Amino acid sequence: MPSHRKPRTRTRPAVPALGVTTAALASVSLLAQSADAAPTVPKPSIEEVQRKVDDLYRQADLATQKYDAAKEATSTQRAKVDSLLDQVAAGTAKLNDTRRVIGGYAAAQYRDGGVTPTMRLLFSDDPQAFFDQDQLMGRLSDEQHRTLSTFETERAANAKKRAEASRGLAALTTSQQTLRAGKEEVQGKLTAARTLLSTLTAREKERLAALEKKKQDEAERKAAELAARQAAAREKPAPPAGHAPSAPTAPSGPSAPASAKAAKALAFARAQMGKPYVWGATGPASYDCSGLTQAAWKAAGVDLPRTTWDQVKVGTRVATADLQPGDLVFFYDDISHVGMYTGNGMMIHAPHSGAYVREESIYYMPVYGAVRPG
């Protein structure tokens, strides 16, 4: 008998289109990555790297001078505070001696019949009140009166010194904070310069060295021009007899020989060549720029201040054309670097961190001005 059931229709499960789905997912992923990716920063050129490194070294020089100034201020303030504390200690000892004398008076009165109102006033918080009571003044002998007056004077003076020492300690703390901040600033600039240089490839370092050589050659060319001008000035004939100046003048400019002190300072500076630059250093194993010039002139018997900002104020200002060996040449508008002139447009200086005391053209950096110490 035929069956009236409908035949079953088998359905196949839907199979996703793998190729299309995978491509779509890949596209979405790439779009997401593109959206999240940061814009590419172009790598600086070697010329830009050179300018940036030079600027960082200059900023480190400036920060070093700030550090040197803060270090000197801290040292001065510490000496002042130590002196005040010594005075306070001496005043306290003297005050205690006077207090013991007054105590002897009290003991004597006690033995003679108990502590009188006079002695109680002597040991009160305000001995000056004793003097304001005329009826009790007669109970003191002249010696006791002088002792009590001395005690009050000493106590007031010691309190004043204590307050001064307290203010000095606060100023010392400020100086120390400035010193620490200066140290961190120098280290930050030098770290930035080293980090920038560390990103260069060997080929880029070669190109940077070539640029540095070009810069040095140009500076030496200018130094040679200065040397030629100075030589011409020395060989310039004297004016005719009838045109001599009415009053004798001291020799100056490139025709004048360096003084004995300048020669000693220059000899000291030459002896330091090859020693490392270390910021904040004053020798004998290492120097910063102003530390070297200070030490050199000290060897000649001339005391210079610690920083470039103070050294530029010492001595006689001289024009670049009139430079003599031993003169100090300062650089940049912020006067953050100094070197010692050796003649022929050259100088000895402590350049920057990672370098050594050396001789090179004064035109390696922009000249600010020059002075002649001594």
Q: pLDDT band at 94, cuts 50/70/90? A: confident
In percent, how much of the chain has pLDDT > 70? 73
What is the layout of strands, in order, in the sheet containing 316-318?
Answer: 316-318, 367-372, 328-331, 337-343, 346-349, 358-361
Structure tokens at 207: 């190109």
CB 362 within 8 Å of CB 303: no
> pLDDT tens, 190-212?
888 888 888 889 998 899 899 99
Q: Residue 257 has what pLDDT?
A: 55
Q: pLDDT band at 21, cuts 50/70/90? A: very low
Which of 189 and 223 is assigned the larger pLDDT? 223
Which of 98 and 25 is assigned the larger pLDDT? 98
Q: Residue 252 has what pLDDT?
A: 46
Measured CA to CA, the distance from residue 317 to residue 2 in angstroms comes to 130
> pLDDT tens, 254-293?
534 568 999 999 999 999 999 999 999 999 999 999 999 9
CB 267 within 8 Å of CB 295: no
Any bridge partners for residue 370, and if so which? Answer: 318, 329
Task: Name every residue whose Cβ is closer than 8 Å to that of residue 131 and which is 6 or more positions away in sequence.
Answer: 137
Q: Residue 139 has what pLDDT?
A: 55
Q: Residue 343 has what pLDDT?
A: 95
The answer to which of 57-61, 176-180, 244-248, 362-366 has the lowest mean pLDDT is: 244-248
Structure tokens at 371: 């002075």
Task: Name every residue whose Cβ is closer than 8 Å to that of residue 368 and which is 6 or more positions away in sequence.
Answer: 312, 330, 331, 332, 333, 335
Residue owning tokens 């001078």: 65
Measured CA to CA, the distance from residue 63 to residue 184 in angstroms comes to 9
Span 299-304, average pLDDT: 96
Mean of per-residue pLDDT scores for the chain: 79
Q: Which amino acid belongs to residue 315?
A: G
Span 28-48, average pLDDT: 62
> pLDDT tens, 315-331?
999 999 999 999 999 99
Q: Residue 292 has what pLDDT?
A: 98
Would you give the distance in Å from CA 36 to the centre of its chain? 44
Residue 176 has phi, psi (to 5 degrees) of: -65, -40
> pLDDT tens, 136-186?
445 556 776 777 777 778 788 888 878 877 887 787 788 778 878 878 888
CA nearest to 157, candidates 84, 239, 75, 218: 84
pTM above 0.75, yes or no: no
Any bridge partners for residue 337, and if so which? Answer: 331
Q: Is the dihedral of CA 149, 154, 155, 160 positive or negative?
A: positive
Span 289-311, average pLDDT: 96
Highest mean pLDDT among 5-14, 28-37, 98-107, 159-168: 159-168
Q: Residue 84 has what pLDDT?
A: 77
Which of 113 and 163 is assigned the larger pLDDT? 163
Span 38-43, average pLDDT: 66
DSSP state of 281: -
- 107, pLDDT greater than 80: no
Q: Residue 20 has what pLDDT?
A: 45
Q: Residue 367 has what pLDDT?
A: 96
Residue owning tokens 């270090």: 71
Which of 21 and 108 is assigned the larger pLDDT? 108
| Residues with a known catalytic role | 289, 337, 349
Highest mean pLDDT among 34-38, 101-105, 329-333: 329-333
CB 308 within 8 Å of CB 336: yes
